Amino acid sequence: MKLNLRGLKLQALKEEIGKLDIPAFRADQIFSSVHGKLAGEIGLIKGLPKELQEYLSRFFAIETLEKILTTTSKDRTEKFLFGAGDTAGRNVKIESVLIKEEGRNTVCVSTQAGCNAGCEFCATGKMGLLRNLTAGEIVSQIYGIITETGIIPTNLVFMGMGEPFLNYAPLMDALEILTDKKGLAISSRKITVSTVGFAGRIKKFADDISSNPNLRNIKLALSLHSTDRGFRETLIPVSKKNTLPEIYDELVYFYRKTGNKVTYEYIYFEGLNDTDNDVKRLAKLQRMIPSNINIIPFHPVDFELKPPLEILNKKINEKIIHSKEKYLLNSKNLLDFIARLKKEKVIVNLRSSSGVDINAACGQLAVKN
């Protein structure tokens, strides 16, 4: 089976090239062309004699994703539907998102086809896990968007389909490839990895990025959504085995090891996680380590949810259906919740609902395979 050049870190490529008695400097040429110039075929790799290109083709391939569909939102957000080949034994479809803002272009990257975290509010979680993506498939989402749009992203967020820490090794390989100076050379300061939190994995992530100069400034975002253990376990079933006290300890370790601020993602469920006690607990949490809280409106999904989220899901869908103007999820109660947090000196931001009209916003990515 041929190796996918898009999934090989530079050091791994050098090792594979060495096995074929090809000079080591050729690895730099190949890597730069594949990951910097985004060559989609071995014949397009610059600087290689034709006979060497033919020789490489016996052992390597450049596997790209099939672009199936691009959907554009009213706010210019673009959602890309890709088909991933059978390198891992099954053809699947995945979604990625390009969010265009003033002076900033962010690609939301998927790490799995589907997800096995099973979060109750998330359309991807309702799909279940089809399979993990390879490192080559992870980076190819970004390369595919660049090729399609001509836009090189300023920021990457690993918040698309899937739980990144449940596909850890390919995630880390992809991060090394994307930050390599001979490739796209994306600054680690412009990368955020999101997780619902797994005992032991946040510490390992802290150790791994702090030991690599190209990765050391990657930001960590915790999908928190509630500081009440019982309600959080309803929202995120895997949190029953990965409790908040354990995760909080790991976040402290992460900050002390890396010096990087942590972001708490907090989907707003009106009447469910916006009480005075929630405000007090969030204020206490933010004093634990330097951090900020991103409030995210709850985006409706086309799946049946368990109570009490199903009632809220139907309520929001009704508002969207009957709204004559562009629907805004920034309700009075949500803004009041943010005001109460700010009164407690909590650093809080309201995340925009980019792409909500094309099901590209947080929690809405899902495809039928």
Crossing angle of helices 201-210 and 244-258, in 10° steps, is 10
Return the pLDDT at 86.
66
Q: 255 phi and psi, to 5 degrees?
A: -65, -45
> Do residues 348 and 289 lie in contact, with contact meaning Cβ atoms separated by under 8 Å?
no
SS3 245: helix
* Angle, alpha carbons 111-112-115 (nearest 5°): 125
pTM of full prediction above 0.85: yes
357/72 Cα distance (integer angstroms): 9
SS3 49: coil
The question of whether 119 is a catalytic residue gets the answer no
Return the pLDDT at 323.
44
> Do residues 309 and 268 lie in contact, with contact meaning Cβ atoms separated by under 8 Å?
no
Q: Which domains does the chain have, with CATH numbers?
A: 3-61 (1.10.150.530), 66-358 (3.20.20.70)
Return the pLDDT at 292.
96
Exposed/middle/buried for residue 281 (C-beta within 10 Å: 0-12, 13-18, 19+): middle
- Model confidence over 223-242: pLDDT tens digits? 999 999 999 999 999 999 99
**Is omega for the bond preceding 308 within 30 degrees of 0, making it cis?**
yes
Return the pLDDT at 361.
73
The question of whether 95 is a catalytic residue gets the answer yes
The residue written with tokens 């034994």 in the block is 89
Best CA proximity match to 98, nearest among 110, 87, 88 = 110
177/8 Cα distance (integer angstroms): 8
- Model confidence over 55-112: pLDDT tens digits? 999 999 999 999 999 999 988 999 999 998 764 456 899 999 999 998 999 999 999 9
Catalytic pick among 108, 115, 119, 362: 362
In sequence order, which residues have a C-beta less than 8 Å from that of residue 285 and are 6 or more positions away? 227, 248, 264, 291
212/256 Cα distance (integer angstroms): 16
Which ranges constitute the DSSP H helices of the chain? 10-19, 25-31, 50-56, 123-127, 135-149, 168-179, 201-210, 229-235, 244-258, 276-286, 309-322, 332-343
SS3 219: strand
Return the pLDDT at 316.
61
Return the pLDDT at 325.
40
Catalytic pick among 63, 78, 95, 250: 95
Positions in the chain whose pLDDT score sits under 50: 87-88, 320-328
194 has which bridge partners? 221
Q: 82 phi and psi, to 5 degrees?
A: -115, 150
In sequence order, which residues have a C-beta less than 8 Å from that of residue 196 and are 6 or more positions away? 117, 119, 163, 222, 223, 236, 238, 239, 242
Return the pLDDT at 329.
53
273/337 Cα distance (integer angstroms): 10
